[in-house]
Structure 1
Amino acid sequence: MTMKALQEGILHDPFLVLGYQKNAKGLPLVREFMPNAEEVMFNQDTPMKRLEGTDFFEVALDESFEVGSHYQLKWLDKHTSEWHEQYSPYSFLPQTDELDIHLFSEGKHNHAYRFMGAHLKTIDGVEGCLFVLWAPSLKRASLVGNFNRWDGRCHPMRALGGSGLWEIFIPGLNPGEHYKYELLSKDGQLLIKTDPYAREMALRPDTTSRIVADDTYRWQDQEWMEQRANFDWQHKPISIYEVHAGSWQRPAPEEFYNWEELADRLIPYVKEMGYTHIELMPITEHPLDQSWGYQVTGFYAPTSRLGSPDQFRTFIDRCHQNGLGVFIDWVPAHFPKDSFALARFNGDALYEHADTRKGEHKEWGTLIFNYGLNEVRNFLLANALYWLQEFHIDGLRVDAVASMLYLDYDRDHGEWLPNEFGGRENLEAVAFLQEMNRIVHQEAPGALTMAEESTSWPMVSRPIELGGLGFTMKWNMGWMNDNLDYIENDPVHRKYHHNKLTFSQVYAYSENFVLPLSHDEVVHGKYSLFDKMPGDRWQKLANQRLFYAWQYAHPGKKLMFMGGEISQPEEWNELGQLNWHAAQEEDRQGVSRLVADLNKLYCEETALHELDFSHDGFRWIDCNDSDQSTLSLIRQDEEGNYIICLFNFTPVPRENYRIGVPDASEYQEILNTDSSYYSGSNCGNSGLIESEDTAWMGFEQSIALTLPPLGALFLKVVK
């Protein structure tokens, strides 16, 4: 019955009938099931007998043969009439280490990717590939590929006890070979699935997994990695250029630059613009370009659109050698319903929750990970370390954290299930995020984690020991929304919305904030940053320059999505490239020059970055002049060095505008967004500005100066 079950593809353990067996008399024999073979030879010269009416082949072993040794099969392919030769997969003992199985089942295997998935190995002198899969509650799991004509009967896998793990070692397979898993569910569904741990996948629309060699890349960034381990991120400048790698530049409308070609173009540009880091929107494999990578089907595979995993390593290596850090978007919040990937992986909900009230995001049409299941949690935790350690990524920006934290996220009454205490908090997701942050900071020293969290959940970027989630930083979505809402107003109305500029100081130090101007704000009818600005072309550009200066003066690390720095006139379109033609227009080049100078100033002046997360680094001079829509403030460092920043959010120049200053000294403009160099009107303060013994705004000294229209000034004491 077991042989009949295997021939029908329903036998749970193929090793019951394949490989070394015994006949009815207890004598040893070898049995193979080879449905694509016409003839089979044992160890090249001994014919194997086909069992009548089947695709089983047997050979009796003589007394001299060492039972347990590996043997070769030579067979005639009945489809091509070609002879092939290979060691039998069914002559190998189980290869997966018991400790690996135990740690994985406990959800504590931080490097599960080192044994899960496909790994080229040499076992007892035989070269091949070991495949390990987690898929509990199956009748059968098989490996399929070109090497067996995608026939799931050819290579059924060995079940590793009750762990839900399956394995098979296939001799003779090489890098580049395509494969999938054929799974027979407990209720008889036949499923074809990609490998969740695949480290490379074919180019869409092909969804097959691909064998790659274990990492042999020779890194050249040792100096960077040593410095990263001691990176004082709290007190150092972090200015991030957010990039969608497939649409920054393209060689042709339907083509992409690969990672090495992109490095040739992007790295010099980012350095010239003065950014410290590049943040890549998701680079993991995804089937749909329009998802921007946020609907991931290959969590361990860099997308094949842009080249091989080693080409991606080359890109990161070259960034590091040029003094640039690299962050990636990481998406543990959800995954798509594509039938070839994680959805209903074993025929039932496995990676996701079975109850859609907990397991589905209807807004996005995606599924939610079951963070309470050890093996699922392990899949994600190991994935975080995979990118940080195997690819030297410097940090993870975790997408859609709010959707993870709240059980009622985007759900109406009756569409969600409360936690065990009756609350709306997803306690399993909270524990997962805390564990992820703990492991990352413990095992990847200097790597950062940033949460895109859009609510007021407390202590997102505070230590786990104090009850926080343990993230390094949090995106300040409140700042982004309030300030964009303010700047979109016609200047004549801005005085009625002045508090939108000042409110952020109420909470600015409750978290370690990044100030984002992200991709989400320049798509789906929200307009480009240029088009958000009111007024004619000159005013739009002046408003944009003013707004950027405000971002760099405000406490918090900085992020800008590509295109903002060239004042791209259109919304971002992932199917094309940035409007580099418009970027050549002189007045738009003024915006680019300003952004480069802001980055340079931000990095060079410790007053603008050293105390980004502390009250001690910021002081209002005057935040109450709403009638004239002006602001003045001080940014300072630990030693008391300071920069004075002034902002005029109206197109009216303010002559003889007086502010208090800390010192009896001379002050000088170190940046004026209205400079003709930035395509402004060149209104400002040439020469030195001397303080006067006139008390003002709580200061004993003051200065009178000219505020340019829709302009910002940065002043520094002349020493």
Structure 2
Amino acid sequence: MARAGTDLFPTSDVQALLAGRHGDPFAVLGAHPAKSGWVVRALAPQAAKAWLVVDGAETAMDKVHADGAFAARVATADKPAYRLRLEFPDGGGQIIDDPYRFGPVLGELDIHLLVEGRHLRTFEKLGAHLVCHEGSDGVHFALWAPNASRVSVVGDFNHWDGRRHPMRLRHGAGVWELFIPGLAAGTIYKFELVDAGGALLPLKADPYGHYAEVPPKTASVVWDLAPREWSDGAWMQGQAARNDRHAPISILEVHLGSWRRVPEDGNRPLSYVEMAEQLVDYVRDMGFTHVELLPVHEHPFSGSWGYQPVGLFAPTSRHGTPEDFRALIEALHQAGIGVIVDWVAGHFPRDAHGLHRFDGTHLYEHEDPRKGLHKDWDTHIYNYGRTEVRNFLYSNALYWMEQYHVDGLRVDAVASMLYLDYSRQPGEWIANEHGGNENLEAIGFLRHMNEVVYAEHPGAMTIAEESTAWPAVSRPTWLGGLGFGFKWNMGWMHDTLRYFSKDPIHRRYHHDDLTFGLLYAFHENFVLPLSHDEVVHGKGSILARMPGDRWQKFANLRAYYAFMWTHPGKKLLFMGQEFGQEREWDCEGSLDWHLLDDHQHDGVRRMVKDLNRLYRVEPALHQLDCEAAGFAWIDCNDRDNSVLSFVRKGIDSDDICLVVANLTPLVRHGYRIGVPADGFWHEIFNSDSHWYGGSDVHNDGGRQAEPQPWHGQAYSLALTLPPLAVAVFKRAR
């Protein structure tokens, strides 16, 4: 150590920096005033020699430590704008800009807003961003880690050496930042943290990273999310009308990794670019109005289906780049298809490179496992009482809408957020301040999240997967609700699946499973879900749960879907079920597209396509999905024959559809149904059509109403009811 102990480079600072224990590198490195000008200090552990380059002139730097600490004096009045020329032991060399000659990027207002929790777009400031700072191009890194004693950026560019690029701490916000000139998009990086006790933590991926390496690799990747020239302006202008509760909303739920694969190329999943053609064409042809993508957040374990994310701001790199994902959404919008993304704000995995004990403390999660640990999934629960954590999640919700034009967020596992005793035994949870089991912090978070989303993006939608009877989930916060736009109707799903799984001979004893849902159908803005959760973990496919021989299984499936599409509520169907996938869903394999060569499977697909068309074009079937005025029973009491009949109504009183379901394999002739108006009632849909694989029992195009009162109505129809089928009739205007 040639000059240690002088003002060139104090011994204690040299030792701390080279040991990776210095918490304030900018107090030492870079240019600092000295008695006769300035002293410049640099740390370059890989270099044998170093020179200062100022206005083209070079000054040799003293090597004050064998491991690469250098210093030199500069006799100038003004702070020098310098570069470093380094020579390596192998004779090679390079000229670099020293990160420690640059001032901070984050302004005092940024720090103030971050501390107050009023910075709704923290993704614009934290993470890695390509910037031009003080005349130099590079990457600005910023990380919230208030309890760390040292944070460094590491990557291939510095040989993953945490001594090379320690960051500056902005004490007021607990945010570390560093501008590294010369780095560009594609740079692979992580953060190296030392906790308050001096222990080196596992390398961490960037919580705000826009992109990540393809799993199983876990590093973050610098990516430029510069403003895009979008070509979906027509869609975005009409977004509010398409996502409104009066609009037809029919959703195909899609897991991108297993929708379709490429067997001739190692059975790989499709890329975002390939899906922008194949998936878009398929969804458009099928007539679904929206797709819902299982979480696209970056996640280390494919078997989690994306529900254990590490990169909440990064679309998974398994299918391509962020720009490729943007192109997929743009293609969907151009085809008239909305995009909903499953959003996981309830928990995160315990992977070492993720948010788990991020700065050596329980920074993002509750410390007490009775509040901070999901026993079912062995994951952490976010600490919704912490300002920075809430802001992280609010910012993420806006991020997907602003950077990717996502139309809506389906919030996963809301019930697990609302209840402190969710899936816990007595003694395994802590009551709230009032002694109850409600998670008051999570409730406040969800309400404000919805307020933020709808205030910033009035045309968007939020959907709650909430499986309990929590009141007013989809009611405004100013009325005491949680503020969601829609809620999944899990009760309807369980009841109807149970009913349709019964042999028709026993259905008379389970008739209430089909009628009970109408007692609460308009308490919320409901979505009727047959989701991925119903075709995994040994449950089999929807088709596999239908009773009877092969013909009856398909007839039951068609009747179930027809009942679903004519029932009040928006629709959601998991991929593959629209053509009667026979086996349980496998996230590592493709859907069984070869089944479409079979007439029965293709018949189900044809019927779902026609149901989507019918649902879109008939106002009575969608306009009042969420209002009691849009529904009336004709007869819900014929349990002995397992027959149901009801009418659906539109906003215009002349828009009326009659729905009749015969859920036994018997054809019923001359079955009289009361109707509210005279005239000819056209049969506009029949799930027993031969086109769908049925027996083609029908009503010759419709029936003329007769002035014979029935079912409390002034008129009635004498119908032929097809077996295991649903028929829809519309009165001629």
Partner of 1:519: 532
Which of 14, 17, 22 in structure 2 is aligned with 1:11?
A: 22
Per mean C-alpha deviation after superposition, the further-off stretch among 229-238 and 371-380 is: 229-238
SS, match of residue 197 in structure 1: coil
8 Å contact kept, 1:70–1:88: no
What's 2:661 paired with?
A: 647
**Mapping for residues 287-302 of structure 1, pairs under 5 Å:** 287-302=300-315
Paired letter, 1:41: W
Match of 2:185? Answer: 175
User: Aligned-pair distance for 1:217?
Assistant: 2.4
Q: Which residue of the partner structure matches residue 454 of structure 2?
A: 441
Q: Which residue of the partner structure matches residue 510 of structure 2? A: 497
Give CA deviations for 1:488-526 in whole Å, capped at 9, x if unaligned.
011111110000100001100000000011000001110
Q: Give, in whole Å, the separation in 2 of the partners of 1:702 and 1:189.
A: 81
Q: Which residue, out of 545, 550, 559, partners 1:546?
A: 559
* Contact 2:310–2:355, Cα closer than 8 Å, also in 1: yes
1:34 is the counterpart of 2:44: yes
Name 2:226's counterpart in structure 1.
Answer: 215
- Pick the aligned partner of 2:131 from 121, 126, 135: 121
CA contact (8 A) 1:2 1:16 kept: no
CA-based RMSD of the aligned residues comes to 1.2
Structure 1's consecutive aligned runs of 4 or more residues displaced over 6 angstroms after TM superposition are none
Aligned with 1:695 (options 694, 709, 728): 709
User: In the alignment, which residue of structure 1 is the partner of 2:107?
Assistant: 97
Cα contact 1:137–1:185 (8 A) shared by 2: yes
Q: Does structure 1 conserve the Cα–Cα contact (< 8 Å) formed by 2:115 and 2:172?
A: no
- Do residues 533 (structure 1) and 534 (structure 2) align? no
What does 1:268-417 align with in structure 2 at a 5 Å threshold?
A: 268-417=281-430
- Higher alpha-carbon deviation: 324-333 or 254-263: 254-263
Give the match's secondary structure for 2:482. Answer: coil
Deviation at 1:22, TM superposition (A): 4.3
After superposition, give the CA deviation of every residue in 1:138-174 in whole Å (9 maximum; x if it has no partner): 1101110111110000110000023110000000001
CA contact (8 A) 1:437 1:471 kept: yes
Give 1:369 deviation, angstroms.
0.3
Give, as a single letter, the amino acid of the residue that structure 2 aligns with 1:87. Answer: D
CA distance in 2, matches of 1:215, 1:126: 18
| Contact 1:240–1:275 (Cα < 8 Å) also in 2 | yes
2:78 maps to which of 66, 75, 86? 66
Paired AA for residue 176 in structure 1: G
Give how far 1:689 is off: 0.8
* 2:155 corresponds to which of 145, 160, 176: 145
Aligned match of 1:686: 700
Deviation at 1:232, TM superposition (A): 6.1
User: What percentage of residue pairs aligned between the two structures are identical?
Assistant: 50
Matched residues in 2 for 1:506 and 1:664: separation?
29
SS of match in other structure, 2:95: strand
> Alpha-carbon deviation of 1:188?
2.2
Residue equivalent to 1:244 = 255
Q: Letter of the aligned partner of 1:651 in structure 2?
A: P
Q: Deviations over 1:385-421 (max 9, x none)?
A: 0001110000000000000000000000000011111
Residue 131 (structure 1) aligned with residue 141 (structure 2) = yes
2-structure distance, mates of 1:52, 1:424: 60
Secondary structure at the residue paired with 2:268? coil
1:681 Cα deviation from its structure 2 partner: 0.5
Pairing 1:619–2:632 present = yes
Change (3 A) 1:691 1:229: closer
- 3-state SS of 2:612 partner: helix
Structure 2 residue aligned with 1:195:
206
Cα separation, 1, equivalents of 2:720 and 2:588: 45
Q: Is the 8 A contact 2:673 2:710 kept in 1?
A: yes
- State the Cα distance separating 1:667 from its structure 2 match: 1.3
Query: Could you tell me whether the CA contact under 8 Å between 2:243 and 2:461 is conserved in 1?
Result: no
Measured in 1, the distance between the counterparts of 2:701 and 2:224 equals 63
Residues 241 and 247, structure 2, Cα contact 8 Å, conserved in 1: no
8 Å CA contact 2:658–2:729 kept in 1: the answer is yes
Note the residue ranges of structure 1 that are not aligned, 5 or more in a row. Answer: none
More off after superposition, 395-404 vs 101-110:
101-110
Structure 1 residue 231: Cα displacement: 4.5
Paired residues, number: 715
Structure 2 distance, partners of 1:499, 1:256, is: 43
The AA in structure 2 aligned to 1:621 is I
CA contact (8 A) 2:147 2:361 kept: no
8 Å Cα contact 2:102/2:134 also seen in 1:
no
SS in 1 for 2:700: coil
SS of structure 1 residue aligned to 2:261: coil
1:665 aligns with 2:676: no
- Give the structure-1-normalised TM-score: 0.98
Q: How far apart in 1 are the matches of 2:272 and 2:44?
A: 42
Choose the corresponding residue for 1:558, options 536, 558, 571. Answer: 571
Contiguous gaps of at least 5 residues in structure 2: 1-11
Cα distance, 1:70 vs structure 2: 3.0
Residue in 1 that maps onto 2:475: 462
Which residue in 1 is equivalent to 2:8? none
Answer yes or no: is the 8 Å Cα contact 2:170–2:176 preserved in 1: yes
Worse overlay, 281-290 or 102-111? 102-111
What pairs with 1:550-629 in structure 2 (closer than 5 Å)?
550-629=563-642
1:638 is displaced (CA, Å) by 1.3
Q: Do the aligned partners of residues 231 and 595 (structure 1) sit closer, same or farther apart at CA in structure 2, a change above 3 Å counting?
A: closer
Q: What is the CA distance between 1:6 and its match in structure 2?
A: 1.6
Q: Aligned partner of 1:644: which letter?
A: L
